[in-house]
Chain A
Amino acid sequence: MKLHEYQSKELMRQYGIPVPESAVADSAEAAEAAAVALADDGYTRFAVKAQVHAGGRGKGGGIKLADSPAEAGKLAGEMLGTQLVTPQTGSQGVPVNKVLIEGGADIAKELYIAVTIDRSRRCPVIIASSEGGMDIEEVAATQPDKIYNEWITPGWGLQAFEAAGVAYALGLTGKSQRAGAVVIQKLAHMFLDLDAALAEINPLIVTSDERVMALDAKITIDDNVLFRRPDLEALRDQSAEDELEVAAAEHGLSYIALDGTVGCMVNGAGLAMATMDEILLAGGQPANFLDVGGGASVERVAAAFKILLQAPKLNSVLINIFGGIVRGDRVAKGIIEAIETIEVAVPVTVRLQGTNAAEGRQLLRESSLEFILAETLDEAARKAVEASQ
């Protein structure tokens, strides 16, 4: 679960990581008032930052600088209620419902620091770079020697000497080295304490008086901890999430919309991806990823159909179920019942394999509904693509 910048900064503040003075606003008036308060504290420049779950905001016009509270209010008004398109969003963009108004910082140096999971080494890892403020993947690709890693021993946390080593590796010296090491250790502690998947500061700035602070902040929480962290679950912003993906999740389905014409409904994530790949090989384009789970019950199949049918270009559906523990005849009954309760106007290709697959196919053949039946995965994809053309 992704958090917004303002939420991430609030958490960092709680964990003792210095962040610039700021306030969140959802209207031009509130934005101007926030900037006035900052001006009272002595700030003369104000950053207006769109609060969206996407990187590349600067490139997309989601970060603007104002020289007066009035200008900050005006810029916020122009940003709020629009769809922000960045290199990391689709062409439709993401809605801007809130902006962060922040006192302009005095930047002497921009660094990069993050904590995430190293899957291969099976432990958290600190990623640090002296090249802050840039896309870190680009730095990794073009200047790999500018990236420094420190791995955190499971169960022990980041040690002070390790944090100090990272700060030295960033080229910090004196007061800023000590301040940097403290921030790095606090960031690691926060990452572990929040059960985060990512805690990133880009850029971490050093000011001309050698203070260190987080100019931007991004935290992603491990979805698997939300059951025991209602405090973090409360930070979820559903308006920033895909409506159909949210609806699918409520039914225990895993769904991702794509741009093609062939809808698919599959049990198991790996087989679902493989089915999409097979559709592509057969000359078609998948409309979605949809894993109905191992069970494929009537309720789930019906819910899956309702979600599938909302894809704008959909003109064919492929159902691919490998019956393991779930029996093919039960799945077939589920499909028939689901289609009888909701109107499905596009051709439906079904491939059942595994336990009682023959009985399942027999039920589909004998039903009053029209199904295109297939035995193998490639045959199913071919037929579903043909039906879409």
Chain B
Amino acid sequence: MSILVDSNSRVLVQGITGTEGSFHSRQCIEYGTNVVAGVTPGKGGQTFDDTVPVFNSVERACAETDADVSLIFVPPAFAADAIKEAAAAGIRLAICITEGIPTLDVIEAVAYARDRGTRVVGPNCPGVISPETCKVGIMPGFVHREGCVGVISRSGTLTYEAVDQLTRVELGQSTSVGIGGDQVIGTTFRDCLEMFAEDEQTRGVVLIGEIGGSSEEDAAEYLADDYPLPVVAFIAGRTAPPGKRMGHAGAIIAGGKGTADEKMRVLAEAGATVVDSPAIIGVTMAEILGA
């Protein structure tokens, strides 16, 4: 049945009239996502591409369209406010694509959302897709196929790489979640592992981590306690020097913590199949699932 988004999801796009927002909204609609509303302050009353009504506020949009998922393309200066606005309006799931939001803004927005029962995915992420049903993000839809593997990743293009491999070995994906490359994010590996464990469609999980932080270690702790599904894990950044931020704000080895080797070690100890090369993620999962 997939996790987070499905055919019942009613999607609202915050920042729908911007360059990024409009381009990706079209791609989502073309993919079949049920985009019911857009929000751009000051442009309420307009219609996006003659099909999607635009509102001044999320509250108004929700009242008129019953949107329950928001996709956020708002610039960094206003993105944390956009997350809070979505939460205040009762949005169930806010997926924030924006890169470069101040960390303390994200901390406040995530806390605010949690207090109102809203799950935040991202920021600085490619979004969430349940293939052939609902795409809420900027990932290329065509590499995905509906299938049985859940994908969780801190990266963008590296996720597409893994997804492409899973499609080629004919396993496909139940849902692929880009959790984001920032230091502080709304939804973690562990959160997604919990959801995939409950999902009937998902028979295995691919976890793509990278250097920095301890979310892979937290995931390992959870996996070690009899996780019901096989997990294939890859950690990017074995060659990364300490103290340097590798593109993503969160990808940094600080004070000797957050190295790839340590993450690989604890994940393997917790029972995950840890692969050295990102090129064999798909075939490794296929072997495990006997496909």
Contacts and interface: CB of A to CB of B under 8 A. Distances in A.
Contacts of A266: 157
A48 to B, nearest CB: 26
B160 A324 contact: yes
B161 A377 contact: yes
Contacts of B237: 273, 276-277
B287 to A, nearest CB: 17
Interface string B140-172: 101100000000011111111100100000000
Contact of A192 (B104, B211, B240): B104
Contacts of A120: 213-215, 218
A154 B107 contact: yes
Interface residues of B, number: 64
A222 interface: yes
A270 B155 contact: yes
Interface string B234-261: 1011111101101111110001110010
B85 interface: no
A288 to B, nearest CB: 10
Interface stretch (B49-57, B59-67, B224-232, B271-279): B271-279
Nearest to B209: A270
Contact of A353 (B112, B164, B280): B164
Contact of A354 (B24, B160, B208): B160
B278 A377 contact: yes
B102 A224 contact: yes
A195 B108 CA distance: 12
A272 B100 contact: no
Given A224-B100, A225-B102, A289 B157 contact: no
Contacts, number: 175
Contacts of B104: 124, 192, 195, 222, 225
A88 B24 CA distance: 43
| Chain A facing B: main interface SS | mixed
B145 to A, nearest CB: 15
Nearest to A120: B214
A294 B159 CA distance: 13
Contacts of B154: 270
B76 A270 contact: no
A278 interface: yes
B129 to A, nearest CB: 12
Contact of B243 (A88, A195, A378): A88
Contact of B164 (A124, A273, A354): A354
A291 interface: yes
A122 B107 contact: yes
Contacts of B156: 268-271, 294, 324
B255 A272 contact: no
Contacts of A119: 183-184, 213-215, 250
B157 A123 contact: no
A280 interface: yes
B27 interface: yes
B281 to A, nearest CB: 10
A270 B158 contact: yes
B255 A137 contact: yes
A271 B161 contact: yes
Nearest to B100: A224
B138 interface: yes
Given A276-B239, A280-B238, A270 B157 contact: yes
Contact of A270 (B139, B159, B255): B159
Nearest to B237: A273
- Residue from B77, B214, B250, B277 having most chain A Cβ neighbours under 10 A: B277
A323 interface: yes
Interface string A93-134: 000000000000000000000000101101110000000000
Contacts of A312: none
A155 B239 contact: no
Given A256-B246, A273-B251, A281-B277, A154 B111 contact: yes
Contact of A378 (B24, B183, B256, B279): B279
Interface in A296-328: 322-325
A143 B184 CA distance: 28
A342 interface: no
B169 to A, nearest CB: 13
Contacts of B103: 117, 195, 197, 222, 224
16 contacts: A120-B213, A195-B104, A222-B102, A222-B103, A225-B102, A268-B155, A268-B157, A269-B246, A274-B236, A277-B236, A277-B278, A280-B239, A289-B244, A324-B138, A324-B156, A324-B157
Interface of B: 23-24, 27, 76-77, 100-104, 107-108, 110-112, 138-140, 142-143, 153-161, 164, 181, 183-184, 208, 210-211, 213-215, 218, 234, 236-241, 243-244, 246-251, 255-257, 260, 276-280
Given A270-B153, A274-B278, 7 more contacts: A278-B277, A289-B247, A322-B157, A324-B139, A324-B156, A377-B277, A378-B277
Please provide the 3 A-B residue pairs with the shortest distance between their CB atoms, ordered closest to farther: A270-B155, A269-B247, A268-B157
